[in-house]
């Protein structure tokens, strides 16, 4: 099993450009999450999904959109990138139990110039 994978690993964008980050998991997990991690701050939840076809907003959803068309994939879109979105983005997944462990992907390092 590959676990949770993320594409791409690194990306540099110019302000105003758009991009999509892809997260894939092969563990048949119901829940999937997108976080961002910035220096000196805890992981912050952007959006999450409790199952195929569902999405919900997290703590910092502005400027991002998501889709979960297939159970194994969770896409994070930036429509018009801003320098404030420079960050490391982590995807995570877990089974459906409320206290189940989240498993993280390797992260995407995004720089917006």
Partner 1 sequence: GQNIDQPTEMTATEGAIVQINCTYQTSGFNGLFWYQQHAGEAPTFLSYNVLDGLEEKGRFSSFLSRSKGYSYLLLKELQMKDSASYLCAALDSNYQLIWGAGTKLIIKP
> Interface with partner 1 by CB under 8 A: which residues?
4, 40-45, 58, 90, 98-99, 101-107
Which residues are 86's β-sheet partners? none
Number of Cβ atoms within 10 Å of the Cβ of 93 = 27
Closest contact distance (angstroms) between CB of 16 and partner 1 is: 28
Q: Contact at 8 Å (CB) between 100 and 69?
A: no
If the CB atoms of residues 17 and 102 are measured against partner 1, the closer one turns out to be: 102
Number of Cβ atoms within 10 Å of the Cβ of 6 = 20
If the CB atoms of residues 58 and 77 are measured against partner 1, the closer one turns out to be: 58
If the CB atoms of residues 22 and 43 are measured against partner 1, the closer one turns out to be: 43
């Amino acid at each position: 099993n590959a676990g949770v994978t993320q594409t791409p690993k690194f990306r540099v964008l110019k302000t105003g450009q758009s991009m999509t980050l892809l997260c894939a998991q092969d563990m048949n997990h119901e829940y999937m999450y997108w976080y961002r991690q910035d220096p000196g701050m805890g992981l912050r939840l952007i959006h999450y999904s409790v199952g195929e076809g569902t999405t919900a907003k997290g703590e910092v959803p502005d400027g991002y959109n998501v889709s979960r068309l297939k159970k194994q994939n969770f896409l994070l879109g930036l429509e018009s990138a801003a320098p404030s979105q420079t960050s490391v983005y982590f995807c995570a997944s877990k089974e459906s139990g409320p206290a189940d462990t989240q498993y993280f992907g390797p992260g995407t390092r995004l720089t917006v110039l």
